[in-house]
Amino acid sequence: MVSKPDKPAPIGEDVSLARAAASKTQTRIQREKTEAILTAALDVFSTYGFRGSTIDQIAKQAGLSKPNLLYYFDSKEAIHSLLLERLLETWLEPLKKLDPAADDPVAEIIAYVHRKLEMACDYPRESRLFANEILQGAPRIMDQITGPLKDLVDEKAAVIEGWAEQGKIAPVHPYHLIFSIWATTQHYADFDTQVSAILGERSETCFEDACDHLTTMFTKLLRP
Amino acid sequence: MVSKPDKPAPIGEDVSLARAAASKTQTRIQREKTEAILTAALDVFSTYGFRGSTIDQIAKQAGLSKPNLLYYFDSKEAIHSLLLERLLETWLEPLKKLDPAADDPVAEIIAYVHRKLEMACDYPRESRLFANEILQGAPRIMDQITGPLKDLVDEKAAVIEGWAEQGKIAPVHPYHLIFSIWATTQHYADFDTQVSAILGERSETCFEDACDHLTTMFTKLLRP
DNA sequence: CGGCTTGCTGACCATTTGGTAAATATCAGA
DNA sequence: TCTGATATTTACCAAATGGTCAGCAAGCCG
């Protein structure tokens, strides 16, 4: 019943959750259910994308009825938005940790690669959710891309360029280095289906092999 | 009117096109329209994935009415299937060309990288169509993955391993090398939205820069 | 216990979606 | 120009989908 009365000034921007964050004091049930919904939604959205996913699907997976789910979130889009919002925080973290003052820049970048690969393998659904959104032209997070993400990349690219100029790492195109790191690591999450199918039994050592391979590759690329 | 009478033995496998390839002799209009539909469908499917795309959307983009579109194809799935079928042929070609008898294996692999990158940049929609399908768990092309694709990769991985053993290239994990090549090249098609947003004006030299970067990276990785 | 808030359900609704049928328009060749 | 095949449209349908609403059930707290 709070849905409509709660939006007296629908300027259009605040299309977020209903009860979930509306009140500061969440009940136990609210916490449990919203979390269950978000988990289920992550599963579904990351597989089928926004348009290909249905509320029924999410509700079913969360063990709720559709109206019950819509009691916690105002709309399908609200769930998706919250998911993306949360995602971007954790998404930027590995790159944020890249220390401009590191003693050994090569090791520092390799450490970043490892963080990224670990994230891709530990949170493949998050990676796929992001991939799906970008594939569709990033309609719902374009401002996050051109804003915080771009700023962070610009900053770190400058750091990398600085290292290259000082001769601490081999000369590289910093942006394309970052793209290569993203591409190679996220590949193991986004294209897991393909990777597993091709590796067959070799899949068991996939993570270790990938880690070795990427370490070698980027070390050779960056060593001055 | 050929839709139902044409399927007296619906064993379930031959869910393909209606008129398009039913008769060997296609009329001019059939050729034009089916092509228009496939082009439109590629646009739509590559952006929204199978489930997120609608027939109306495709029909509209192709400049046809929905029933008219369904006169040429039996179903949404038929269009998608045909697109994937066509895709896989061209998709495997660059790797097929990798010559086991090449004089300079490093140059041969770099040439493969170039072919792949060029394909990603020339046919981004095809790359995204494929990405979407894999993201969704490859429900419609799993047998193509575990069949022809895996076979080809196995074959070429053996070639690469042979080169490594002969000391013609540095020791690498052949499968992960291939994954890295796929990931880095296709990234420019699949994540174009992100790449463009981050590069900003630098996007103009993106292809050349990417080409340089990947050439350097894989050369350093592979040189014995 | 009693009452108020919170949580949940079944029935419902408008729109969209994949697909069909019959009637009509267009075309290409004799 | 006539005719049969090809092409296209209008009208339709059943199912799915996003979302609402009134009312009922639980939880909680004095």
With contacts defined as CB-CB under 8 Å, which chain A residues touch B214? 176, 180
Q: What is the pLDDT of residues B207-223, one digit of tens each?
A: 999 999 999 999 999 99
Contacts made by residues A66-73, CB under 8 angstroms, sequence distance 24+? A69/A37, A71/A18, A71/A19, A72/A17, A72/A18, A72/A19, A72/A20, A72/A30, A72/A33, A72/A34, A72/A37, A73/A17, A73/A18, A73/A20, A73/A34, A73/A37
d(CA A222, CA A219): 5
What is the average pLDDT across A137-152? 96
Question: Which of B135, B180, B188 is facing A184, going by the closest CB pair?
Answer: B180
A207 touches strand C (CB under 7 A): no
pLDDT > 90: percent of chain B: 85
Whether the predicted pLDDT of A16 surpasses 70: no
Enumerate the residues of chain A whose CB falls inside 8 A of the CB of residue B188: 179
Distance (Å, whole) CA B75 – CA B20: 12
- Chain A's closest residue to B197, CA to CA, is A146
Q: What pLDDT is recorded for position B104?
A: 98
For residue B6, pLDDT beyond 80: no
Report the pLDDT value the prediction gives residue B25, as an integer from 0 to 100: 67
Do B17 and B70 fall into the same domain?
yes
Contact B218, B113 (CB under 8 A): yes
pLDDT of residue A4: 30
| Structure confidence at residue B17 as a pLDDT band (50, 70, 90) | very low
pLDDT surpassing 80 at residue B23: no
Residues B110 and B186 in one domain: yes
Dihedral, CA of residue B66, residue B67, residue B68 and residue B72, to nearest 10:
100
A99 and A168 inside one domain:
yes
Domain count, chain B: 2
- pLDDT(A166) > 70: yes
Confidence of residue A3 (pLDDT cuts 50, 70, 90): very low
Q: Measure A67 CA to C8 C1' (Å).
A: 8
pLDDT in the model for residue A24: 55
- CATH code, A96: 1.10.357.10
Whether residue B138 and residue A200 make contact (CB cut-off 8 A), yes or no, is: no
Whether B80 and B101 share a structural domain: no
Q: Name the minimum distance, in Å, from the CA of A166 to any CA of chain B.
A: 19
Q: Give the domain-ending residue among A31, A50, A74.
A: A74
Whether B73 and B125 map to the same domain: the answer is no
Partners of A80 on chain B (C-beta within 8 Å) are none
Of B52, B84, B116, the one marking the end of a domain is B84
Query: pLDDT by residue (tens digit) across A75-87?
Result: 999 999 999 999 9
pLDDT of residue A30: 85
Determine the average pLDDT of the residues in B143-169: 97
Containing domain of residue A57, as a range? Answer: 1-74
C1’ D18 / CA B76, Å: 22
| Domain match, A66 and A109 both | no
- Burial of A148 from C-beta contacts in 10 A (0-12 / 13-18 / 19+): middle
Give, as ranges, the nucleotides of chain C with any atom within 7 Å of a protein CB. 6-11, 16-22, 28
Say whether both A14 and A65 belong to one domain.
yes
Tell whether the model's pLDDT for residue B19 goes beyond 60.
no
Confidence at residue B3, expressed as pLDDT on a 0 to 100 scale: 31
Q: Using the predicted structure, report yes or no on whether residue A17 has a pLDDT greater than 90.
A: no
Q: Which residue has the higher pLDDT, B25 or B135?
A: B135
| pLDDT of B78 above 70 | yes
- Using an 8 Å Cβ cutoff, are A44 and A58 in contact? yes
Chain B positions in Cβ-Cβ contact with residue A194 (cut-off 8 Å) = 134, 138, 145, 149
Q: Do A214 and B180 touch (CB under 8 A)?
A: yes
Over residues A164-187, mean pLDDT: 98
ipTM: 0.90
Work out the angle at residue B164's Cα, subtended by the Cα atoms of residues B158 and B166, and round it to the nearest 5 degrees.
Answer: 105
Task: Output the average pLDDT for chain B.
Answer: 90
**Distance separating the N- and C-terminal Cα atoms of chain B:** 64
- For residue B89, being part of any structural domain is answered with no
Q: What is the CATH number of the domain that holds A66?
A: 1.10.10.60
Q: A145 and B193: CB-CB below 8 Å? A: yes
| pLDDT tens profile A42-58 | 999 999 999 999 999 99
Averaged confidence pLDDT in chain A: 90
Residue B105 and residue B162 in one domain? yes
Domain boundary pick from A74, A105, A129 = A74
Residue B179 CA distance to nucleotide C17 C1' (Å) = 38
Is the model's pLDDT at B55 over the cut of 70? yes
pLDDT confidence of residue B20: 45
